[in-house]
Amino acid sequence: LAKTTQPISMDSYEGQEVNITCSHNNIATNDYITWYQQFPSQGPRFIIQGYKTKVTNEVASLFIPADRKSSTLSLPRVSLSDTAVYYCLVGGPNQGGKLIFGQGTELSVKP
Amino acid sequence: DSGVTQTPKHLITATGQRVTLRCSPRSGDLSVYWYQQSLDQGLQFLIQYYNGEERAKGNILERFSAQQFPDLHSELNLSSLELGDSALYFCASSVGGTSVHEQYFGPGTRLTVT
């Protein structure tokens, strides 16, 4: 499973756009990139998943460059309720269901 | 609400004891996963079952075991408990059995070993 590297923490203010970048230099051809969000004492929650280029849903966008060695989770106009830990994970369909969670990025949104 | 249920929510027990944590997956999901989250180790994958069979194994201790029953609910058994086993234990489920499939996490069971 490809190892991921992301910033340990980030600070932002309400209404700003937040971009969290994840590095995954050893990503395999079949691997997808998935982001989860976790609030304290709650289970992680799926945010978005992509393979290449750009994916957008109602809560976030995921940008993946052509070499796929990194990805950026973009949260538009964050609010205080977006304060959480964000995990970047890489894995493919041939690796079972094991999710390897790294340290994640602790995002703090201030008023 | 993810649709995954876990019982009990809290569990306090003594060292050396044995406990069983229970998980009911979302309706239609065939895969069940168990994770342990402690302050010093972060979120760690323990084991995965798919339609009753073990599919993947993480760093699960020999003192821990799990199974998935015909109705697809799962139980995680922790025995000879140690202080270091105190953690949040999460169950997750997904419709498929690969990491590409979105996993839905339950609310967790907080285990305290005294």
d(CA A23, CA A102): 12
Per CB-CB distance under 8 Å, the chain A contacts of B34 are: none
Chain-chain contact of A91 with B100 (C-beta, under 8 angstroms): yes
Examine the pLDDT at B104 and tell me if it is beyond 80.
Answer: yes
Q: In whole angstroms, how far apart are CA A2 and each of A100, B51, B57?
A: 9, 27, 17
Per CB-CB distance under 8 Å, the chain A contacts of B88 are: 41
Chain-chain contact of B107 with A43 (C-beta, under 8 angstroms): yes
Using one digit for the tens of pLDDT, what is the confidence trace for A43-94?
999 999 999 999 999 999 999 999 999 999 999 999 999 999 999 999 887 7
Backbone angle region of A57, left / alpha / beta, with phi > 0 → left and psi within -120 to 50 → alpha:
beta
Please give the single-letter amino acid code of residue B32.
V
State the smallest CA–CA distance between residue B108 and chain A in angstroms.
7
Using one digit for the tens of pLDDT, what is the confidence trace for B14-33?
999 999 999 999 999 999 99
Using one digit for the tens of pLDDT, what is the confidence trace for B48-99?
999 999 999 998 999 999 999 999 999 999 999 999 999 999 999 999 888 7
The answer to whether the peptide bond before residue A111 is cis (omega within 30 degrees of 0) is no
The answer to whether residues B33 and B93 touch, using CB atoms and an 8 Å cutoff, is yes
Give me the total of CB pairs closer than 8 Å, taking one residue from chain A and one from chain B.
Answer: 84
Chain-chain contact of B100 with A89 (C-beta, under 8 angstroms): no
A2: confidence class by pLDDT, cuts 50, 70, 90: low
Q: In chain B, at which residue ranges do the beta strands (DSSP E only) sit?
A: 5-7, 10-13, 19-24, 31-38, 42-50, 53-57, 64-68, 74-78, 87-94, 104-105, 109-113
Per CB-CB distance under 8 Å, the chain B contacts of A35 are: none
Three-state secondary-structure class, residue A8: coil
Backbone angle region of B9, left / alpha / beta, with phi > 0 → left and psi within -120 to 50 → alpha:
alpha
Bridge partners of B34, per DSSP, are: B47, B91
d(CA B95, CA B102): 8
Three-state secondary-structure class, residue A4: coil
Judged by a CB distance cut-off of 8 A, whether residue A91 touches chain B is: yes
Examine the pLDDT at A1 and tell me if it is beyond 80.
Answer: no
The answer to whether residues A49 and A32 touch, using CB atoms and an 8 Å cutoff, is yes
Three-state secondary-structure class, residue A32: strand
Instruction: Give the 3-state secondary structure of A1-40.
Output: CCCCECCCEEEEECCCCEEEEEECCCCCCCCEEEEEEECC
Q: Dig out the tokens for B47 from the structure.
A: 């084991």
